[in-house]
A and B are shown apart, each in its own frame.
Chain A
Amino acid sequence: MKMAPSAKKHAEQSWVIPGGFTVLPLKYSSDSVSQHSLYVKEHRVRAEKTTSRPLDRTLFVLNIPPYCSEEIIKDLFSTFGKVQSVELREKPGTTESSDLKLSKYFRPALTKGFSVGYVVFTSPSGVKAAKSHPRDIPLIVSTENHPVKVGIQKWIQQYRQSLINPEKLQAAVDTFMQGYDQKKEEESERQKEAEEDDEGWVKVTRGVRGSKARPHSEMANQRALQKEDKKRKRKELLNFYTWQHRQTQREHIAELRRKFEEDKQRIAVLRAQRKFRPY
């Protein structure tokens, strides 16, 4: 709450570029020489209906440096108001719902490059405060109170985290598989129900799973066609009639000519590259 009035005071100094993004300078530490710029804007997408990014309270942030994790961004943006959640992504876009449900062991790894973020504040005022942040006061990522781990320290920490307790992993697998089995069962139940037609008749088919569960595939189509072709070829008589024989000879000579022409062409290419100088 303290930050809000001060931000207002400098409001005229905030830098909004064409496209509607506000530029927030960001430094790694107070003694850094250079600074990155974050580009922020309120999140506004027409089609989006997910509850995780409420339109009025979500701030869309571009160009977040690799050393900023979700916690650090949460810390940084707390100055503008209470942050409810932070989501970092490689590229702007909607989330895939299936990934979210996975346990941490199976989630796809985040890339270690620059990212975009969706910062959700508890109240819309946070978004406003962020957008009116003055251009000459940079955000500081690593402070004495909250040092950020980078380089060797970070990699050691990562290594430590990569050690996984097999029991926990097993538990995660079990939960997923239970859910999966349940889903499968439900599906087959539904299918069974669907097969029962209006009058209560059940169509009895051969396979239990195979033929019914999977639709007809492209591959099978092609294979059938090839088989036909082969069959036809086998039945044909070769060089049986005189005209057939003459035909094959004609074809042979034509083939030789075509090859000759091809070779001439190849030689021409090679000659153009001076490929015949032995030394």
Chain B
Amino acid sequence: MRSPGSLKQEFLKKWIMGFQRCSSSKKSMSVLDRKKAIKLSADIAMASARKGTTCWSRALIASASKDGSDKHLVEQILGPESERLILMKKFSTGALVCSKRIRSKKILKRSCGIRRTRKCAPQAALASSIAKRLVRKRTQVLKSLIPGGEFMNEVSLIEETLDYIISLRAQVDVMRSLAIASELVNHN
């Protein structure tokens, strides 16, 4: 397991780098713009700290680089063009395959579901079907939360969630200490 300390350092380093590059391009920004720049550079730094090993990081970078305005920033942060292309390719192919799989699964489920609902009678079966429905709803919500989550099956979704939570935590810690630091500096 990677140590959280190294992750934080990695993240901080990349964040600073991205931040500087972002600031060099624009001189005066409103608060919201600044916030967006901060958040974007933080997200990309966090994603690149994973170096493309996880699906959510790839999805995050891909979605960020889809936007025209942020593209250059992403490029700058990630470095060589080839890396980005590789990541994009991985993400796009994975998405295509997974979306096809998901579509076929949905069709199958719909055809089987009709048969299923006719048969359930006893209370316990009803309760279990309710439980199943709840779990399904929640996995859908989770998929919407995690970047690139719509294309994953259950097992990988849980893995990605784990990784995402760890990275989010590290990000929050770094940002919080930075905020405190700048606050202290400002007060003095």
Q: Do A and B truly interact?
A: no
Which residues of B line the A interface, CB within 8 A?
none
Which residues of A line the B interface, CB within 8 A?
none
